[in-house]
Amino acid sequence: MTFIIDHQRMHHIAIAPPKTATETDLCRDGRAFFVGGTLPLHATLETMFESYCADATDIFIITLGAAETIRHGLEMTKLIKKNFNIRVMARLNHPIPDWLYQQIYASGADLIDVTCTSPHDFTLDDGQKSQYLAAKKAFPHWSVASTVTIDGSARSHLNRTIDELLHIGIVPLPRLNWNGTEESETEICDVLHHLAKSWHKHGVPIKPFQALIGLASPLVPAARPGALRSIIDRLHDRRKLAASDLLRHLRVSEPTDSLDSAGL
């Protein structure tokens, strides 16, 4: 999939930047549904059913809370995966023990956004790389992402961070933070072009992340699919989601057969 910059959308984001959902929020933005991982389980599910039926949804994003609430967030993830046939992303804004990534995947998350770097920390240190690699070990290929804030500064450092993330198998997701000045517009466009080309170069299956990319950045598909292509793409996406659920079942289920029961 080829992406281009929608400059009208870019200026709109500068005027009204998208809100960053937290672990206490429950809201829809476009075709993405944000769910706080600390919210009450059943009341939240009821509200989600009402909103889900009222509008189209491509992805649920569950923002997990701090260590003492993460179990609650995992239970929320399980309930959402059980009740909705929609792709689920878990989002983390803080480091967690390596073993918890497997628990997040087993709970039903198809994707995960591990955002361990600050907006102005452009070098991935060993601790950050360890978090990414632990998540990558638990999740399927190209299912781990990291949000990169693009604000018009440090262009070469941002491009290098994008390259580093893709090199270790992490999908950089853009979040535009722009004050609308012409001086930084060229820098931002350069980083966005580099990001889009790098996704293509590494063969990243970007479709699962498209709803989020469109919310937080001005990157849009170069060609809009027709009605028939949209239907085919949705059917293909459903098959991929079913395959993802099957893969999870095979990876996290304990074997029930033993050598004795197999007659060996």
Are 53 and 40 spatial neighbours (Cβ–Cβ below 8 Å)?
no
> Rounded mean pLDDT of 136-145?
95
Residue with tokens 């459903």: 238
pLDDT value for 52: 73
The full set of domains in the chain, from first to last, is 3-225 (3.20.20)
Is the model's pLDDT at 250 over the cut of 90?
Answer: no
Span between the terminal Cα atoms of the chain, in Å: 50
DSSP-assigned letters across all residues of 229-257: HHHHHHHHHHHHHHHHHHHHHHHHSPP--
SS3 172: strand
> Rounded mean pLDDT of 36-46?
94
Is the model's pLDDT at 257 over the cut of 70?
Answer: no
Is the model's pLDDT at 108 over the cut of 90?
Answer: yes
pLDDT in tens, 213-229: 999 999 999 877 666 65
**Cα–Cα distance, 145 to 115 (Å, whole number):** 8
Q: What is the pTM of this model?
A: 0.86
Q: Which two tokens stand for residue 236?
A: 């293909």
Among the listed residues 79, 56, 19, the one whose alpha carbon sits nearest the alpha carbon of residue 230: 56
